[in-house]
Amino acid sequence: MTTSLHRPFLNLVGGEWHPAPEQLEVRNPADTRELVATVPSMDAAGVHAAFDAAQRAAATWRRVSQVDRGRILLRAAQLIRDRQDDLSRTLTLEMGKTLAEARGEVGKAADFFEYYGGLGRAERGELLAHENPAVMAWTVHEPLGVVLAITPWNDPLLTPARKLAPALVAGNTVVLKPASDTPVIAIELARVLHDAGLPPGVLNTVTGAGRRIGGALLDHPALKAVSFTGSNDVGDTLRSGLAGRDVRLLAELGGKNAAVVLADADVERTVASIAAAAFAQAGQRCTATSRVLVQRDVVDAVRDGLVQAAGAHVLGAGVDPDVSMGPLVSPAQRDSVQGFVERALAKGATRATSPDPALPGEHGCYVAPTVLTDVDPAMEIWTDEVFGPVVALVAFDTLDEALELVNASQFGLAAAIYTSDLGAAHAFAEKADVGQVAVNLPTSGWDVHMPFGGFKTSGSGHKEQGLEGLDFYRRTKTVALHSAG
Ligand code: NAP
């Protein structure tokens, strides 16, 4: 099976496809000897050209009716569904996730365009009461102008979709900077929007190493908002780069998501749910469960269940339909995750899963799903984001104790509780200091209309998705009009 993609992948700038003098190589994480594609590695001048194009398009795009903007997004949703096979294969080849996972991501990307496209027919403000009956007062939502979207590699189609759909329907123009490990699928998304009839300059892509073009991404005077998903380190760099400027920043950052299992939970269903949240996409999800807290009576049953679920995974290239877990995205990510496991073992943790799992081929970025016990909550494996198929397990006695452990984290993205006690579920939902709480459901998997985003160092306080997700991309003007002229 050929693993390279033959189409030229160029950047969409001002409605045309642009090359650059230098190229970025995209390699297949299932076998890094295979070159999947090359994309332009843009320099500062290329980045500025993309912002210039976005600035030029902003004045006309904001005057296109919201209904018509929505229509283009609805066409894009349909095109994504029509191209599902191609897009899924591209996603798998450059990112590593299985084809089934990729198909799920493609479907959800379409959902974002469908949901926000539909909102093209929703309100654009509200009518307000006024003391004087001769005065009519209302609010109207306006676009911000030029928005920069910076996205990571773990959901490289879904995350741009989550940002572009609300930004575009609200009337903004966008510069999209995708992760350098997975730029091809972002270019394919730009092609979808171009083919759906998005006018020139409304969406522009810039591919290239963030550390090289990071300064150029922020310094254009037309920039009005940055919507970022990625690591806390880069989030901090953006925050300081924008300090003192009138530029909104939405940042969706890291997580260290806990699942709490009470003794009255249905153990079989709980284990299946936690294993899915921990090991799907080889654990490379910001909402992946990575801490498992189990009430002492059921700790052995939950540990054994997770070990069994880990052992049942078939590792291999994501394009193979028999495979249930693909490689990690890159050699750097594989080495980072392995480093976390090795340091945890050196500090006294025990690997409950096979100590010597067979991995498919030395050129792939594989890490076996791993369950660690004998973990102390002070250990790095309990406190830091791993972003791989690794869970650490700790026993507790009371719900209060579990809540204290959940909330002791610097992160506050998602947490789950598994129980048949409604009172305990409500108490947990109220007291867990996280942006997303799941009861008898995995920490991952939040539908497009459900506001999504973390507390504490997991986010900037702005939610994505749903109506709240739209609000980040628009400002509200209040108008009062006296009919007497
Ligand atoms: P990352 O290293 O922060 O990269 C994210 C994006 O930022 C990439 O496009 C990267 O480009 C770019 N970038 C790097 N340096 C930059 C700079 N100086 N200026 C501007 N942009 C820069 O994160 P990642 O490793 O791709 O993704 C994993 C992280 O994302 C994890 O921490 C995960 O928790 C987080 N995440 C959070 C959520 C959420 O919703 N909370 C969702 C998914 C992922 P290059 O690729 O070219 O370096």
Summarised one tens digit per residue, pLDDT across range 215-267 is 999 999 999 999 999 999 999 999 999 999 999 999 999 999 999 999 999 99
State yes or no: pLDDT of 356 exceeds 60: yes
Best residue for ligand 1 mutational test, from 25, 223, 229 (most atoms within 8 Å of Cβ): 229
Identify the burial level of 435 via C-beta atoms within 10 angstroms of its C-beta, where 0-12 means exposed, 13-18 middle and 19 or more buried: buried
State yes or no: pLDDT of 355 exceeds 90: no
Best residue for ligand 1 mutational test, from 11, 150, 184 (most atoms within 8 Å of Cβ): 150
Euclidean distance between the first and final Cα of the chain, in Å? 73
Minimal CA–CA distance to 416: which of 387, 388, 436? 436
Which stretch of DSSP H or E encloses residue 411? strand 411-412
Per-residue confidence band for 474, with pLDDT thresholds at 50, 70 and 90:
very high
What does the pLDDT read at residue 436? 98
Q: Where are the beta strands (DSSP E) in 335-462?
A: 350-351, 370-373, 390-396, 411-412, 414-418, 436-439, 455-456
Average pLDDT over residues 144-150: 98
State whether residue 199 is helix, strand or coil. coil
State yes or no: pLDDT of 135 exceeds 70: yes
Average pLDDT over residues 67-73: 98
Q: How far apart are CA 357 and CA 341, in angstroms?
A: 14
Per-residue confidence band for 483, with pLDDT thresholds at 50, 70 and 90:
confident
Report CA torsion sign: 10, 12, 17, 18.
negative
Percent of the chain with pLDDT over 90: 96
Enumerate the H helices of 295-379 as residue ranges.
Answer: 299-311, 331-346
Average pLDDT over residues 157-175: 98
CA 34 vs CA 237, 246, 437: distances in Å: 33, 44, 41
- Of 2-6, 110-114, 121-125, 182-186, the one with minimum mean pLDDT is 2-6
Q: How far is the CA of 150 from the centre of ligand 1 (A)?
A: 7
Per-residue confidence band for 165, with pLDDT thresholds at 50, 70 and 90:
very high
- The per-residue pLDDT for range 369-417, each reduced to its tens digit, is 999 999 999 999 999 999 999 999 999 999 999 999 999 999 999 999 9
What does the pLDDT read at residue 8? 81
- The per-residue pLDDT for range 341-351, each reduced to its tens digit, is 999 999 999 99
Residues 6+ away with beta carbon under 8 Å from 230: 150, 151, 152, 179, 252, 253
State yes or no: pLDDT of 3 exceeds 80: no
pTM metric for this prediction? 0.97
Average pLDDT, the chain: 97
Q: How far is the CA of 180 from the centre of ligand 1 (A)?
A: 10
Q: How many Cα atoms within 13 Å fall on the side-chain side of residue 92?
A: 25
Minimal CA–CA distance to 329: which of 3, 30, 33? 30
What does the pLDDT read at residue 25? 96
Per-residue confidence band for 108, with pLDDT thresholds at 50, 70 and 90:
very high
State yes or no: pLDDT of 49 exceeds 80: yes
Q: How far is the CA of 352 from the centre of ligand 1 (A)?
A: 31
Which pair of tokens denotes residue 224? Answer: 């009005």
Assess contact for 318 and 91: CB atoms under 8 A: no
Q: How far is the CA of 231 from the centre of ligand 1 (A)?
A: 5
**Pocket residues: Cβ below 6 A from ligand 1:** 150-154, 177-180, 209-211, 214, 217, 229-231, 234, 237, 252-255, 286, 385, 387, 413, 454, 458
Q: Spell out a b/e string for 104-128, using b for 16 or more CB atoms within 10 Å of the CB, else e.
A: bbbebbbbbbbbbbebbeeebeeee
- The per-residue pLDDT for range 410-458, each reduced to its tens digit, is 999 999 999 999 999 999 999 999 999 999 999 999 999 999 999 999 9
Average pLDDT over residues 78-90: 98
Per-residue confidence band for 277, with pLDDT thresholds at 50, 70 and 90:
very high
What does the pLDDT read at residue 144? 98
What does the pLDDT read at residue 177? 98
Residue nearest ligand 1's atom 26 by CA: 152
Per-residue confidence band for 281, with pLDDT thresholds at 50, 70 and 90:
very high
Question: Rg (Cα) of the chain, in Å, rounded?
Answer: 23
Per-residue confidence band for 357, with pLDDT thresholds at 50, 70 and 90:
confident
Q: Would you name the residues annotated as active-site residues?
A: 252, 286
What does the pLDDT read at residue 362? 86
Minimal CA–CA distance to 291: which of 400, 414, 440? 414
Which pair of tokens denotes residue 13? Answer: 């700038």
Q: How far is the CA of 46 from the centre of ligand 1 (A)?
A: 21
What does the pLDDT read at residue 485? 65
State yes or no: pLDDT of 290 exceeds 70: yes
Best residue for ligand 1 mutational test, from 234, 238, 242, 468 (most atoms within 8 Å of Cβ): 234
147, β-bridge pairs = 174, 225
Residue nearest ligand 1's atom 13 by CA: 210
Q: Torsions phi, psi of 301, nearest 5? A: -65, -40
251, β-bridge pairs = 228
Average pLDDT over residues 302-324: 97
Percent of the chain with pLDDT over 70: 99
Average pLDDT over residues 452-470: 97
